[in-house]
Amino acid sequence: MASHRTIGFVALAGAIIGYGGLWPVTHIAIETIPPLWYSTMRIGIGAAVLFGVLAATGQLKFPTRHDLPLVVSVAVFMMAIYTALMHLALQFVEAGRAALLGYTTPLWVIPAAYLMFGERPSRRRVVGLVVALTGLAVLFNPASFDWTNANVLAGNLMLLCCGLSWSIAIIHIRKHRPQRTPLQLAPFQLTLAAMLSALLALIAGPLPSIAFSGREIAVLAYGGVIGTALGMVSVTTCVRYLPTTVSTVGLLGGPVVALTLSVAFLDEALTAALAVGIMLILLGIALVSVPERRPAKAPGE
Q: Tell me the pLDDT tens digit for each residue of 48-106.
A: 999 999 999 999 999 999 999 999 999 999 999 999 999 999 998 887 778 877 877 87
Q: Which residue has the higher pLDDT, 286 or 37?
A: 37
Least confident of 154-168, 180-194, 266-280: 266-280
Per-residue model confidence (pLDDT) at position 301:
47
Residue-range domain boundaries for the chain: 4-289
CA distance 20 to 258: 5
Least confident interval from 31-35, 146-150, 185-189, 256-260: 146-150
- What does the alpha-carbon distance between residue 222 and residue 229 come to, in Å, rounded to a whole number? 10
Q: CA-based Rg of the chain, rounded to a whole angstrom?
A: 19
Percent helix, percent strand, percent coil in the chain, to nearest 5: 75, 0, 25
Residue 245 to residues 18, 21, 157: CA-CA distances in angstroms? 20, 23, 25
Predicted structure pTM score: 0.85
201: which DSSP letter? H
pLDDT at 34: 92
Is 230 within 8 Å of 25 (Cβ atoms)?
Answer: no
Mean pLDDT of the chain: 87
> CA angle, 102 as apex, 184 and 36 as ends, to 5°?
70
User: Residue 296 above 70 pLDDT?
Assistant: no
